Amino acid sequence: MTAAMNRGTMLRLMLLAFLAWMHLGCGGGGGDSQAGGGIGGTGLYASSIGTVTEFGSVVVNGVTYDTRNARVIVENDLQGTGDEAVIQNLALGMVVRVEGRLNADGSGRAEGVFFSADLQGPVESITTLDSRTKRVVILGQAVTIDDQTLFRNTAPSAISAGMVLEVSGYMDEDGVIRATFVGKIAESLPPGGPVKITGEVQNLNAGAKTFRIGGLTIDYTGATRVPPTVPEPGQFLEVRGRLQAPGLLMADRLELEEDIGSAAFETIDLEGIATQISSAAEFKLGRNIVRTDPATDWTNILPEELTPGTRVIVRGVPTDGAILAREVRLSEKVKIRSNVSAVIPAQNRLVLTGFEAVRVATTAATRIQGKASSLEQIKPGDQLKVFGRRSSDGTVLASMVLVLPSADIVAITGPVESVAPPNLVILGVRINTASIPAGGFKGRGGGPITAGEFYNSVRPGDTVAAEGVLQAGVPAWNRMEIQ
């Protein structure tokens, strides 16, 4: 099934999740005083971890959560309750955890919204990777910033060495944080100023009370807040303290990093980056194990298209220390598939047959996999699957490119720009649907509809997927689906 969730699909998934949870008898333990929750009330009890994409309540992973009665907890401290506290303390792009209830109509009611930055500290170095991408290092941790990063109190061009930043995002398979949010705290770190890092405990010396996170040594001899089971090798900790010297942090406080939450959730929505693929039935999303089965709905990505570095959203149920996925979907909505007609390395550009009007570009953050591992290795005639997003200038920026043997398959998914039956325009490409046979039109949820029903339903701004074949370099369309 390739359609994205609509309200009906979401309801079915919620019911499946509930039944699976009841059958498996799974769920987490209790929480601390700020963990939120209990499982009273109506609706599935949910934990949703993802970037804030809209306000007016808060939208995370495509779900609008009513925050009128939600507690807002920032860096483990309660900041207030309700919509005003949300607006005052959160920003677009921050990765948050929402705990609350999913309603039958697909909306949600938040009981708690939690935010904790991945990094807070001074910039040690800045490297320009290309015109859209930079790499900064903070407390020894590499951070990628690009067109997907949202900024507060600064801009990419204004970031300088010594500036104190807070960073929120997702760690990739190489241990680099792909920043979705960067905020400036100060122009420089005052003597004894606070810093923070999250990461895995390495090289623990319990006698000396030191360990390392990446290239940073943590000394916790003077820490006043250390849970009984912390630290242990391999634990993912949140460390707050002060820099005593370059590469040495004197910790004031150690805490276990908790991204999903510890309550007995009935369903979990988790956005992240695939860091390890064990098989089609199991992969890691960040630090979390995700399992799939024949009932898993791969909505806009196929199992074989999931590779390390792919950013996806998983909805599932907790079981045996993992998430059993009921749905896996791409975070980004643009997909293009066709053969290469030209490669322009000097401009980091690709030209695809049948989509010559679409400007497709790669960046330093693009993953190129399959037959080729770099732009220079891609050859005219290769079949490409391009996954990405549309930038403000209309360019499709590829986050991943799968390089396959030449084929006559052609496909495009993206926002509709205009509709004039039997034509519609997606990403600047005019698509004539007159050749689509009966049964080739699909509505939201994937069910068959007539051409008339399709055009009565589709509107500019809707995401639509079109599939067909190349005939003498021209797409002949045979399937169309509203997502």
* 32-58 pLDDT per residue, tens: 333 333 333 468 999 999 999 999 899
Q: Are residues 284 and 338 in the same domain?
A: no
Question: How many domains in the chain?
Answer: 5
Instruction: Report pLDDT for 40.
Output: 36
**Residue 157: inside a domain:** yes
For 7, what's the count of Cα atoms within 13 Å in the CB-facing half-sphere?
Answer: 7
**Single pTM value for the model:** 0.87
Does residue 90 lie in a domain region? yes
In the prediction, which pLDDT does 27 show? Answer: 34
Average pLDDT estimate for 145-165: 97
Structural domain harbouring 285: 7-116+261-330
Q: What is the pLDDT of residue 460?
A: 96
What is the residue-averaged pLDDT of the chain? Answer: 90
Mean pLDDT along residues 193-198: 97
Q: Is 460 a member of any domain? A: yes
Q: Do 21 and 105 reside in the same domain of the chain?
A: yes
User: For the chain, what percent of residues have pLDDT higher than 70?
Assistant: 91
Choose the final residue of a domain: 256, 290, 306: 256
Q: What is the mean pLDDT of residues 350-366?
A: 96
Residue 167 has pLDDT above 80, yes or no: yes
- Give residue 82's pLDDT band: very low, low, confident or very high (50, 70, 90): very high
Whether residue 383 lies inside any domain: the answer is yes
> 79 near 73, Cβ under 8 Å?
yes
Residues 220 and 174 both lie in one domain: no
**1 in a domain, yes or no?**
no
**Domain of 321: which CATH number?**
2.40.50.320
pLDDT digits (tens, 9 = 90+) for 310-347: 999 999 999 988 999 999 999 998 999 999 999 999 99
12 and 102 belong to one structural domain = yes
Distance of alpha carbon 312 from alpha carbon 304, whole angstroms:
14
pLDDT score, position 43: 83
In a domain, 125, yes or no: yes
CATH number of the domain enclosing 428: 2.40.50
Q: Do residues 109 and 24 both lie within one domain?
A: yes
| Chosen domain end from 212, 233, 256 | 256
Domain-located, residue 240: yes
CATH code for the domain in which residue 182 is found? 2.40.50.140
My answer on whether 458 and 473 are in the same domain is yes
Instruction: Tell me the pLDDT band of 445, cut-offs 50, 70 and 90.
Output: confident
28 pLDDT more than 50: no
Q: Based on the fold, state whether residues 233 and 145 are members of the same structural domain.
A: no
Per-residue pLDDT of 469-479, as tens digits, reads 999 999 999 99
Q: 21 with 92, same domain?
A: yes
Q: What is the predicted pLDDT for the residue at 483?
A: 87
- Please check the confidence at residue 65 and state whether its pLDDT lies above 80: yes
50 and 149 share one domain: no
pLDDT given for residue 364 in this prediction? 95
Over 50: is that where the pLDDT of 127 sits?
Answer: yes
Question: Residue 264: what pLDDT?
Answer: 85
Residue 2 lies in a domain: no
Quick one: pLDDT at residue 260?
Answer: 84
Same domain, 220 and 164: no
For residues 283 and 22, which has the higher predicted lDDT (pLDDT)? Answer: 283
Pair 111, 12 in one domain: yes
Tell whether 21 and 110 lie within a shared domain.
yes
The Cα 195–Cα 240 span in angstroms is 6
Q: Which of 352, 382, 407 is the last residue of a domain?
A: 407
